[in-house]
């Protein structure tokens, strides 16, 4: 991992200011927890029906109207017929290094734990209030044979709230629906996260964080504009002998799209990594060439050429996808052949990732065997594909896989997987995850097409949840399917993935007039700004900084878009701007422009439907 991860760690490592203010709460009292800036507030109360409720306000206006909270165990709603006990509060204030859209995360919140005495059982409610949202979770003590049957948890939103969501709960690869909450039918099951534009003008993301030892959460619509917790992988619940720690139920609140995209809330709700992982120099983000999308037939005696192409592109990795396990050469088996390819790649300064099916690494003994063989072969990372729905048992499989991979110094990319939930903070060896409808759905041989607006929702929904392995940037004219080269390059800037795996054949990049910017785009960023012309489902316009260089990426939706980008984010002095614009006549051509700019300048554009724009701005 880069040295910045070492140095930033000591800026403010787990600076927990414990204000252990234990007190008893009288019946009828409201437990209020406010954010550090005092603008976000959650009230926990006992309703007239003796049930546990919460409501959330931002700037004095309701974001979540009174909603139920709690777990159902042994046919008992533990948020019903209860009394409040002692509370304990503290302040959390820390910074820590991260990969992705910026290099440093700020974790600052007021935290309160409330003791609750329900029928026959005492349990704890944790509440954390951040300047950009609220996290809440229930904790139950260990009990042999306990059955978790569901949750009373819900989110009720104000009338006229506008939702963006998808409903694929198998691999989270659905297209997005836009709907006013009042128009949704009852009992519709939808996936998290849900992005909402509130009547107040605030943007809200409803989701969960730190999914461990628990079943993946979806929501089911109901009357009264409520989204009710629903265990889609285990509707009947599950048994456990262990302590029950509910994943955080999250309401992320942002005043604008820049705040939404730059939120660290989900990762803040997850534990920090071990010291060994914070300082692990073997965890290295990077860009990868990849064979499957462009040439799915994986032939052993052509692998040296793929390594050579990867080196010409200046990428750090080459991902060997499905098919390598069938390699044979004289007396050598697949692992022997792989070892030879890895050796050649390392001699060229390239590291290798490999693909495996999740069935091959479901059991601990199989994981040990595969991981040991991968380490012996010199492999750096493993892409694990086709993961079943995320039951409680499967959520523990994700944790075990990352733990064992970390022990073996292997990086991980989960495909066909459940949504991320911030655990990449705990396990920084997970560099990316699919759980997204990406370029796999924009390919002629599958007769699939991605609509232009889809890409303009992703940065404000799925990518707020965590990194996404979209596999961007296709130049092959036969595969553009209505998109443009500039838009395709912009995907690599707008869609964050520390393991940035490019879809197209390397030769299509090497002979393209935009080769220089393809080589220059990094896989992680120091700073991100969502530009003012961005609009969910219509346009995603981003400026991102790496070191002293800025990159602008714009992905446009179905309608022509006029753009005005003030360059006020630049520091003083002059910069060289290398722009790559759409050709007005053809999607498979690019117009290159070079100019000198400063912080008082603007970039003014008119972008065609399904088009884009890319620029690199470097200090003169």
In this predicted structure, the answer to whether residue 493 has a pLDDT above a threshold of 60 is yes
pLDDT for the residue numbered 160: 97
pLDDT for the residue numbered 8: 38
Confidence of residue 14 (pLDDT cuts 50, 70, 90): very low
Residue partners of 334: CB distance under 8 A and separation at least 6: 324, 325, 326, 327, 328
In this predicted structure, the answer to whether residue 405 has a pLDDT above a threshold of 90 is yes
Q: Looking at residues 29-55, what average pLDDT do you find?
A: 96
Confidence of residue 296 (pLDDT cuts 50, 70, 90): confident
Confidence of residue 12 (pLDDT cuts 50, 70, 90): very low
pLDDT for the residue numbered 13: 36
Average pLDDT across the chain, whole number: 94
Query: Distance (Å, rounded) from C-alpha 5 to C-alpha 239?
Result: 40
In this predicted structure, the answer to whether residue 2 has a pLDDT above a threshold of 60 is no
pLDDT for the residue numbered 25: 52
Contact present, 90 and 97 (Cβ < 8 Å) = no
Q: How many CA atoms lie within 13 A of 571 on its CB side?
A: 8
- Which residues are bridge partners to 565 per DSSP? 603
Q: Looking at residues 97-108, what average pLDDT do you find?
A: 96
H/E element, 541: strand 539-546
Confidence of residue 418 (pLDDT cuts 50, 70, 90): very high
CA angle 262, 543, 535 (to 5 degrees): 70
Architecture of domain 3-268: Distorted Sandwich (2.70)
Confidence of residue 3 (pLDDT cuts 50, 70, 90): very low
* Higher pLDDT among residues 10 and 584, named by residue: 584
pLDDT digits (tens, 9 = 90+) for 499-529: 999 999 999 999 999 999 999 999 999 999 9
In this predicted structure, the answer to whether residue 277 has a pLDDT above a threshold of 60 is yes
Query: Distance (Å, rounded) from C-alpha 163 to C-alpha 387?
Result: 28
What token pair was written down for 523?
Answer: 């896989």
Token match 């296709």: residue? 474
Contact present, 605 and 566 (Cβ < 8 Å) = no
pLDDT digits (tens, 9 = 90+) for 466-477: 999 999 999 999
Of the ranges 3-7, 399-403, 453-457, which one carries the lowest mean pLDDT score? Answer: 3-7
Quickly list H helices, 57-137: none
- Which residues are bridge partners to 220 per DSSP? 189, 228
pLDDT for the residue numbered 1: 42
In this predicted structure, the answer to whether residue 214 has a pLDDT above a threshold of 50 is yes
pLDDT digits (tens, 9 = 90+) for 327-350: 999 999 999 999 999 999 999 999
Q: Would you say the C-alpha torsion 203, 206, 210, 211 has a positive or negative sign?
A: negative
Task: Tell which residue, 586, 310, 550, has the closest CA to residue 302.
Answer: 310
Confidence of residue 24 (pLDDT cuts 50, 70, 90): low
Contact present, 127 and 53 (Cβ < 8 Å) = no
What token pair was written down for 469?
Answer: 């392995």
pLDDT digits (tens, 9 = 90+) for 548-588: 999 999 999 999 999 999 999 999 899 999 999 999 999 99
Give CA separation, 488 vs 22, 476, 549, in Å: 55, 11, 20
pLDDT for the residue numbered 601: 98
Token match 């820390």: residue? 94
pLDDT digits (tens, 9 = 90+) for 373-399: 999 999 999 999 999 999 999 999 999
Query: Distance (Å, rounded) from C-alpha 426 to C-alpha 105?
Result: 13
Token match 């720690």: residue? 245
Q: Indicate the Cα dihedral angle 117, 118, 121, 124, nearest 10°.
A: -60
Buried b (16+ CB within 10 A) or exposed e, 419-453: bbbbbbbbbbbbbbbbbbbbbbebbeeeeeebebb
Architecture of domain 550-619: Sandwich (2.60)
- Which residues are bridge partners to 221 per DSSP? 227
Query: What residue ranges do the domains of the chain occupy?
Result: 3-268, 278-523, 550-619
pLDDT for the residue numbered 513: 97
Token match 């039951």: residue? 391
* Higher pLDDT among residues 67 and 24, named by residue: 67
**Is 278-523 a domain of CATH 1.10.10.10?**
no
At 172, give phi and psi (nearest 5°): 55, 45
Query: Distance (Å, rounded) from C-alpha 127 to C-alpha 146?
Result: 24
What token pair was written down for 583?
Answer: 């050709």
pLDDT digits (tens, 9 = 90+) for 166-199: 999 999 999 999 999 999 999 999 999 999 999 9
pLDDT for the residue numbered 448: 80
Contact present, 244 and 392 (Cβ < 8 Å) = no
3-state secondary structure of 424: coil
Give CA separation, 13 vs 9, 50, 97, 431, in Å: 6, 41, 10, 22
Total-model pTM: 0.95
Confidence of residue 11 (pLDDT cuts 50, 70, 90): very low
pLDDT for the residue numbered 26: 55
DSSP string for residues in 451-472: -HHHHHHGGGTHHHHS------
Task: Tell which residue, 542, 478, 472, 533, has the closest CA to residue 503.
Answer: 472
């Amino acid at each position: 991992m880069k040295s910045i991860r070492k140095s930033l760690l000591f800026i403010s490592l787990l600076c927990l200011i414990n204000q252990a203010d234990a007190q008893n709460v009288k019946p009828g009292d409201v437990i209020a927890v406010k954010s550090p800036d005092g603008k976000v507030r959650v009230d926990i109360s006992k309703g007239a029906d003796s049930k546990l409720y919460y409501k959330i306000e931002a700037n004095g206006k309701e974001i979540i109207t009174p909603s139920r909270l709690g777990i159902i165990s042994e046919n008992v709603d533990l948020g019903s017929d209860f009394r409040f006990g002692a509370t304990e509060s503290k302040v959390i204030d820390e910074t820590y290094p991260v990969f992705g859209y910026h290099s440093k995360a700020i974790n600052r919140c007021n935290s309160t734990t409330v003791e609750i005495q329900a029928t026959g059982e005492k349990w704890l409610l944790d509440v954390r209030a951040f300047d950009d949202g609220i996290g809440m979770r229930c904790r139950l003590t260990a009990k042999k044979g306990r059955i978790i049957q569901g949750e009373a948890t819900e989110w009720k939103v104000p009338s006229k709230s506008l939702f963006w969501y998808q409903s694929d709960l198998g691999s989270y690869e659905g297209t997005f629906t836009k709907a006013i909450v009042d128009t949704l039918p009852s009992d519709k099951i939808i996936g998290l996260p849900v992005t909402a534009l509130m009547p107040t003008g605030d943007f809200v993301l409803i989701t969960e964080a730190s999914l461990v030892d628990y079943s993946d959460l979806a929501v089911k619509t109901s009357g009264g504009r409520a989204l009710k917790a629903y265990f889609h992988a285990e509707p009947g619940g599950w048994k456990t002998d262990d302590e029950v720690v509910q994943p955080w139920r999250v309401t992320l609140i942002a005043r604008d799209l820049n705040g939404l995209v730059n939120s660290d809330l989900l990762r803040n709700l997850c534990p920090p990594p071990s010291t060994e992982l914070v300082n692990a120099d073997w965890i290295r983000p990077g860009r990868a060439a990849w064979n499957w999308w462009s040439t799915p037939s994986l032939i052993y005696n052509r692998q040296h050429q793929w390594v050579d192409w990867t080196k010409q592109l200046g990428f750090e990795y080459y991902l060997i996808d499905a098919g390598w396990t069938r390699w044979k050469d004289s007396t050598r088996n697949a692992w022997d052949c792989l070892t030879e390819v890895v050796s050649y790649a390392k001699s060229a300064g390239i590291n290798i990732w490999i693909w495996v099916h999740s069935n091959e690494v479901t059991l601990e003994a199989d994981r040990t065997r595969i991981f040991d063989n991968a380490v012996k072969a010199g492999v750096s990372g493993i892409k694990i594909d086709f993961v079943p729905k995320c039951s409680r048992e499967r959520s523990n499989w994700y944790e075990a896989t990352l733990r064992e991979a970390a022990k073996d110094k292997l990086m991980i990319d989960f495909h066909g997987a459940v949504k991320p939930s911030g655990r990449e903070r705990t396990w920084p060896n997970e560099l990316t995850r699919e759980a997204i409808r990406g370029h796999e759905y924009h390919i002629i041989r599958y007769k699939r097409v991605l609509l232009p607006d889809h890409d303009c929702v992703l940065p404000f929904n799925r990518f707020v949840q965590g990194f996404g392995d979209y596999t961007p940037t296709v130049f092959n004219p036969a595969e553009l399917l209505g998109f443009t080269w500039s838009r395709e390059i912009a995907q690599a800037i707008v869609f964050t993935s520390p393991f940035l795996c490019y879809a197209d054949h390397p030769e299509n990049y090497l002979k393209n007039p935009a080769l220089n910017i393809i080589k220059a785009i990094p896989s992680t960023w120091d700073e991100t700004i969502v530009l003012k012309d961005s609009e969910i489902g219509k346009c995603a316009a981003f400026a991102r900084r790496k070191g002293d260089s800025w990159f602008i990426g714009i992905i446009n939706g179905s309608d022509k878009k006029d753009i005005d980008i003030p360059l006020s984010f630049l520091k003083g002095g002059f910069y060289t701007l290398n722009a790559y614009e759409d050709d007005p006549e053809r999607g498979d051509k690019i117009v290159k422009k070079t100019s000198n700019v400063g912080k008082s300048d603007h970039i003014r554009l008119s972008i065609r439907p399904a088009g884009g724009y890319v620029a690199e701005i470097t200090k003169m």
